[in-house]
Amino acid sequence: MSEEELDELRKRKLAELQQQAMVEEQVAAQEADIRAQRAAVLRQILSPEARARLSNLRMVKPSFAEQIENDLIRLASANRLPEIPITDKTLKRMLAQVAGRQRDTKIQFK
């Protein structure tokens, strides 16, 4: 390969890398926006104590906490929440119900 061909190849590769970096930044910004929107909705529908409980749960079981958050946001958007803001006591009952449903689904191999 000639020096000119190598330079052209380097320029194309650099342009590809820059484009990829821009796309990654846009995706990261969109994800940050979604997280901020979710946090704003949760601030509106949860009492401070319930938010603290959910935050603690997120540290121990992140996927379970995300599932609960999704359920709460879905219920809020459908106006099906029992009360707003949801108290810690109500959230504990909801968590117990969801945890009970998860325990009931067991697969046994014989």
pLDDT on residue 74: 94
The answer to whether the peptide bond before residue 85 is cis (omega within 30 degrees of 0) is yes
Mean pLDDT to the nearest integer, 92-103: 82
* Pairwise CA distance, residues 39 & 41, whole Å: 5
Q: How confident is the model at residue 14 (pLDDT cuts 50, 70, 90)?
A: very high
Cβ atoms within 10 Å of 54's Cβ, excluding its own: 19
Q: What is the pTM of this model?
A: 0.72
Residue type, 72: L
pLDDT on residue 88: 95
Q: Average model confidence (pLDDT) for the chain? A: 90
- Show the domains of the chain with their CATH numbers: 3-102 (1.10.8.140)
Task: State both tokens at 97.
Answer: 């119900």
* Pairwise CA distance, residues 34 & 65, whole Å: 16
Q: Give per-residue pLDDT as tens, 38-77.
A: 999 999 999 999 999 999 999 999 999 999 999 999 999 9
